[in-house]
């Protein structure tokens, strides 16, 4: 007979298990909404789910969202409940928050909803009524217009739409004034989880997050997330981070020294682990970037979402773009402010530890890039002819370029290196000026930083299989010194993708003249660190060479140079 302790333990396990399962111990494919309200207990469980999954990814236990959901390391609580009929899960960056939320909701018999239709939000201007009236008049006129007059009216319509919606109204992922939610999909009892996950992948884009962050609707069209205050109680595992330049990530850990660790997904279905910094842009409230949490809601008696006034951590402080932030009477930029606010106690920097952690984070990003470039080579794009033109914008497009190019990934990597250089300058100058926030107890800071740089560079090594099959070994120092030579173009050979311009590597590459000319013409784009999704980039090779975007000069972002002084 079982003893009392065993029975009590079993009762606790059973009572804490909020999900239902079939007799074989697997979750039914059909959705069951037995828990109709998202409460604090479920939100806490969701935090734990995301935290464990993120740490599992960072440890190397899995490499895609689907892998992580099926991993006993990354998903110990639910992996063995996955039914055989659960399809492989696809997720790019925008899908990831909704995919994770949907999966958890399904496992816990909770309601779930996601946007399926948005429209560009108009400008907030006294001229808006007149512009909308003019647009309506032109649309009516277009219906009656003859063959010769239609092109003229269409041009007038485009001009008016530009005034209403901004330069990028044709792509709601990057428009100037954000989007308005028109329709949402609510899960019903019996819905197939595979159908829901596929629906998320087909419906969600970064445009789904590009809505007014101050929106306070609580009916069926409520905004799924809300902006939060910058503190440790608000920014936590599961928090969504939206970069208005077209990227989404999910927080999985906030360290005691204020660093925010996130996971993000990519069009090639890979999942990566990154760290928050200046590679994520600030924005205005109308397009809703920054940190946000999921808005709790209930379907107990119709749809009822919690309003902003009822959310203790609702805040618009992160949208104060351009201002200097004050912490402990010290003026600082937003990114330093975030780290100080999220640190346990007063943030104290150890320069050697900061450099070690920074090099480790950059190394991780580089190794993720190795996998991305290898996927492009495996897909065979480097053997295809180069297209006659670049995409409309290299950072946000679709098709093979979106799946296998790396301009956004490379820009974020450069931004991290630039941020690391600035941090090292701050560390060295602060130490010289006896800044109490800089703590170093050694005898020669510069010498120790140089030794740390060399050690961490050497420790971060990887092999590249060249086109001719030979192996070339690199360490992090090669990437840092050649960062502006690394090609983002998926039609280039692996040697150009890694900036290998020595004679032996170029002979292995064996690219034709056209591809080498594209590589040379794209130097200005490789020199660009801060992404701009509104720029016209659909140039031919001849046009690109003379375009203004090709005149961007290489910026000195070298970390090693700082350590020489």
User: What is the arithmetic mean of pLDDT over 520-537?
Assistant: 90
The predicted structure's pLDDT at residue 167: 55
- Cα–Cα distance measured from residue 157 to residue 137, given in angstroms and rounded to the nearest whole number: 10
Three-state secondary structure of 134-201: HHHHHHHHHHHCCCCCHHHHHHHHHHHHHHHHCCCCCCCCCCCCCEEEEEEEECCCCCEHHHHHHHHH
User: What is the arithmetic mean of pLDDT over 85-114?
Assistant: 96
For residue 399, is it left (φ>0), alpha (ψ between -120 and 50) or beta?
left
Pairing of strands 113-120, 247-254: unpaired
Average predicted confidence (pLDDT) for the chain: 90
The C-alpha angle 143, 145, 148, rounded to 5 degrees, equals 140
Contact 430, 438 (CB under 8 A): yes
Q: Is 70 exceeded by the pLDDT of residue 6?
A: no
CA contacts within 13 A on the Cβ side of 233 = 6
pTM of the model: 0.82
CA-to-CA dists, residue 242 to 212, 282, 530, angstroms? 13, 9, 16
Give me the residue label for tokens 């927080």: 251
pLDDT tens string 188-220: 999 999 999 999 999 998 889 999 999 888 788
pLDDT tens string 323-361: 789 998 888 889 999 999 999 988 999 999 999 999 999
Question: Dihedral sign, CA of 408, 540, 487, 481?
Answer: negative
The predicted structure's pLDDT at residue 2: 40
Q: Is 70 exceeded by the pLDDT of residue 71?
A: yes
Check residues 503 and 25 and name the one with the higher pLDDT.
503
Q: Is 80 exceeded by the pLDDT of residue 410?
A: yes
Farthest-apart Cα atoms in the chain, separation: 91
């Amino acid at each position: 007979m079982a003893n009392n302790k065993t029975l009590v333990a079993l009762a606790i396990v059973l009572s804490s298990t909020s999900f239902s399962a079939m007799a074989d111990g697997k979750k039914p494919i059909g959705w069951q909404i037995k828990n109709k309200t998202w409460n604090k207990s479920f939100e806490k469980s969701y935090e734990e789910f995301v935290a464990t999954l993120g740490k599992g990814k960072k440890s190397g236990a899995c490499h895609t969202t689907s892998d992580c959901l099926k991993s006993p390391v990354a998903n110990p609580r639910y992996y063995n409940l996955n039914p055989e009929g659960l399809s492989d899960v696809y997720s790019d960056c925008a899908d990831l928050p909704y995919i994770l939320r949907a999966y958890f909701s399904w496992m816990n018999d909770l309601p779930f909803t996601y946007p399926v239709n948005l429209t560009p939000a108009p400008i907030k201007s006294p001229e808006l009524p007149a512009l909308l009236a003019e647009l309506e008049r032109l649309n009516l006129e277009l219906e009656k217009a003859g063959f010769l007059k239609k092109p003229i009216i269409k041009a007038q319509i485009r001009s008016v739409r530009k005034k209403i919606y901004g330069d990028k109204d044709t792509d709601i992922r990057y428009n100037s004034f954000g989007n308005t939610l028109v329709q949402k999909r609510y899960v019903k009892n019996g819905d197939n989880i595979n159908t829901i996950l596929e629906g998320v992948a087909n419906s969600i884009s970064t445009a789904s997050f590009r809505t007014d962050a101050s929106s306070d609707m609580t009916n069926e069209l409520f905004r799924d997330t809300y902006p939060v205050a910058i503190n440790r109680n608000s920014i936590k595992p599961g928090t969504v981070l939206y970069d208005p330049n077209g990227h989404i990530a999910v927080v999985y850990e906030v360290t005691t020294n204020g660093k925010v660790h996130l996971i993000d997904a990519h069009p090639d279905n890979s999942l990566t682990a990154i760290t928050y910094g200046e590679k994520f842009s600030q924005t205005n409230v109308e397009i809703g970037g920054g940190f946000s949490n999921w808005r709790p809601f209930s379907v107990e008696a119709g749809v009822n979402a919690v309003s902003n006034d009822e959310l203790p951590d609702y805040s618009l402080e992160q949208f104060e773009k351009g201002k200097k932030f004050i912490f402990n009477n010290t003026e600082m930029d937003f990114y330093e402010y975030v780290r100080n606010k999220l640190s346990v106690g007063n943030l104290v920097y150890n320069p050697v530890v900061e450099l070690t952690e920074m090099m480790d984070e950059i190394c991780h990003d580089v190794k993720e890039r190795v996998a991305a470039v290898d996927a492009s080579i495996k897909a065979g794009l480097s053997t295809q002819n180069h297209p006659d033109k670049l995409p409309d914008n290299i950072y946000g497009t679709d098709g093979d370029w979106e799946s296998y190019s790396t301009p956004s990934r490379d820009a974020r990597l450069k931004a991290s290196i630039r941020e690391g250089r600035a941090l090292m300058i701050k560390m060295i100058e602060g130490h010289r000026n006896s800044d109490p926030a800089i703590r170093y107890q050694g005898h020669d800071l510069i010498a120790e930083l140089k030794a740390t740089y060399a050690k961490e560079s050497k420790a971060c090594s990887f092999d590249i299989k060249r086109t001719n099959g030979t192996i070339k070994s690199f360490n992090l120092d090669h990437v840092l010194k050649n960062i502006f030579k690394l090609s983002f173009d998926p039609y280039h050979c692996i040697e150009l993708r890694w900036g290998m311009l020595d004679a032996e590597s170029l002979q292995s590459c064996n690219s034709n003249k056209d591809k080498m000319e594209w590589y040379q013409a794209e130097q200005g784009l490789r020199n660009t660190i801060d992404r701009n999704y509104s720029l016209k980039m659909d140039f031919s090779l001849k046009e690109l060479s003379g375009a203004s975007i090709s005149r961007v000069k290489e910026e000195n972002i070298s970390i090693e140079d700082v350590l020489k002084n």
